[in-house]
Structure 1
Amino acid sequence: MTKPIVALPADVKHTDGYDWHASPRQYVDAALKAADVVPLIVPAFGLEEGAAEAIASVLDRVDGVLVTGARSNVYPELYGEQATEANGPYDRERDATSIPLIRGAIERGVPLFAICRGIQELNVALGGTIATEIHEKEGNLDHRRVESDDPDVRFSIRQQIKIEAGSCLATILGADKTSVNSLHRQSIGNLAPELGVAAVADDGVIEAVSVTNARGFAVGVQWHPEYWATTDATSQRLFKAFGDAVRSYARSRERALTA
């Protein structure tokens, strides 16, 4: 069997007078090297005419969806709040692509792995809300990245999380706690009804979720396993579990097509 393909919804970047559809290299490398799948960057065409049909066509052809992190935030009106400049930047074209991809993947049982911005999109897609600027809330840790010119320092593994007993994450990692590289200034607010908490930080901030009663692998994490996917055991296990689910889905889809 040829290697399965996973969709990565792109960000829109405005550079040199052009609009670019792009995805950070770390996610591409993690998909290739740690999950052993082929990543396919999907343009952020969600606001274009015919987008719904295009997104359905993508889901017809891929074996998984990997929703990446980004510098932008989910547009607040999508979860009932008012957008402010302080909460930006935003990328509404990405929102309009990734959220339908998430919903479609869950409906079809396509394996889904949502990271950082992705876990927030997952929560919003299923009816949850976002808590913004969480470092300003009394009692919360500062989850923002360390300021440094060295990306290894910015993405350093420095925060411990508690893994919920009986969760899919506990099964994948075989542990009740682990250390992660969580870098974010907003997080899940009201948890979507279809999501279950899989891990929390010491201050109670939700760091991982799974879709309850999902037909397939459907996990979101707030941290960045893609950065250390080939060297950190926790990151490796997450991407391997995603890759295994993608391969299983691809085999079942191939059998259905040849039956």
Structure 2
Amino acid sequence: MTRPVVGIIGNRGLLNGRYPVHEGGQMNSCAVSHVAQCIPLLIPADPAYLSVEELLEVCDGFLLTGGRPNVHPNEYGEEETEKHGTFDRARDAITLPLVRACVERGQPFLGICRGFQEVNVALGGTLHPEIRELPGRMNHRMPPEGTLEEAFALRHKVELTPGGRFARLFGASEVMTNTLHGQGIAEPGPRVVIEGRAEDGTPEAIWVRDAPGFTLAVQWHPEWNAEADPVSRPLFTAFGDAVREWAAGKGQATKVA
């Protein structure tokens, strides 16, 4: 039996500093294939090559990955500044309407880091351009030096809403996660439910109220060590189960408990 397809939202990059490529981290593909048990399909997130409508038909679910560029502040009604960093307007043009379409259709997605922020912006929320500059906040950015193991090391606790979706999924009200982001949620969208926060109050885990399908998103990077990590594995397993339900019913999604 053919496994369902998860579209992995890719980013733009340069190979050897000069050759334009569409790229995606191998750990995303590994988590989708080995833990979610789905076929990973890297998506060139650019409306010049494909449409949201085509993606919804080709893929059964979507992994909204992290990425160096940020969501453009115009998408949430603010002006661009140096603090907002770099942007990928082509990805904005695909992912934001894709999130809204998935929410309404019940088609599953899992948001990670930038993908977490995309979910909030797509549903009417806003972002802080640099959360480490806010009073009482820690530096959530990736350490500037060190190995990948050091960069993705578990660095802070996330406190979860007791009895909420994430707490039930992880079987705990507190988990340890990595942290590799500069921006964060300022105001949640009207339908965005925050169920996890870091020790400094930064939102870390969300889902979409009244959505018929799987709409979980996290600010950390669960794709790292997804097969062995006690937090990452149940998250990708649940995502894979939701994708299989969608693929089996093709439009008759079961609402997440």
Q: TM-score, normalised by structure 2?
A: 0.93
Q: Shift of the alpha carbon at 1:71? A: 1.0
* Structure-2 separation of matches of 1:84 and 1:254: 41
* Structure-1 separation of matches of 2:94 and 2:225: 27
Amino acid at match of 1:41: L
Amino acid at match of 1:6: V
After superposition, the C-alpha distances for 1:189-228 in whole angstroms (9 at most, x for unaligned) are: 1000011111001111100100111111100100000012
Q: Shift of the alpha carbon at 1:167? A: 1.9
SS in structure 2 opposite 1:145?
Answer: coil
Q: Shift of the alpha carbon at 1:14? A: 3.5
Corresponding residue number in structure 2 for 1:105: 102
Check the 8 A contact 2:83/2:129 in 1, yes or no: no
Corresponding residue number in structure 1 for 2:137: 140
Check the 8 A contact 2:107/2:251 in 1, yes or no: no
Structure 1's 89 and 254: CA in aligned 2 closer, same or farther, altered over 3 A?
closer
Alignment of 1:218-237 (within 5 A): 218-237=215-234
Check the 8 A contact 2:117/2:185 in 1, yes or no: yes
Mark the runs of 5 or more structure 2 residues left unpaired by the alignment.
none
Check the 8 A contact 2:246/2:252 in 1, yes or no: no
* Structure-2 separation of matches of 1:24 and 1:145: 16
More helix by share: 1
* Structure-2 separation of matches of 1:197 and 1:74: 19
Amino acid at match of 1:166: G
Matched positions, count:
252
SS in structure 2 opposite 1:233?
Answer: coil
**Are 1:74 and 2:91 an aligned pair?**
no
* Structure-1 separation of matches of 2:83 and 2:190: 28
Amino acid at match of 2:171: G
Check the 8 A contact 1:9/1:97 in 2, yes or no: no
Check the 8 A contact 2:108/2:215 in 1, yes or no: yes
SS in structure 1 opposite 2:231?
Answer: helix
Q: Shift of the alpha carbon at 1:254? A: 9.0
Q: Which deviates more from structure 2 when the two are superposed, residues 35-44 or residues 108-117?
A: 35-44
SS in structure 2 opposite 1:45?
Answer: coil
Q: What's the RMSD between the two structures over aligned residues? A: 1.7
* Structure-2 separation of matches of 1:32 and 1:233: 17
Corresponding residue number in structure 2 for 1:8: 8
The share of aligned pairs that are identical, in percent, is 40
Structure 1's 255 and 207: CA in aligned 2 closer, same or farther, altered over 3 A?
closer
Give the 4+ runs in structure 1 shifted more than 6 A: none
Corresponding residue number in structure 1 for 2:42: 41
Corresponding residue number in structure 1 for 2:111: 114
Structure 1's 151 and 238: CA in aligned 2 closer, same or farther, altered over 3 A?
same
Alignment of 1:236-255 (within 5 A): 236-253=233-250
Corresponding residue number in structure 2 for 1:193: 190
* Structure-2 separation of matches of 1:177 and 1:108: 31
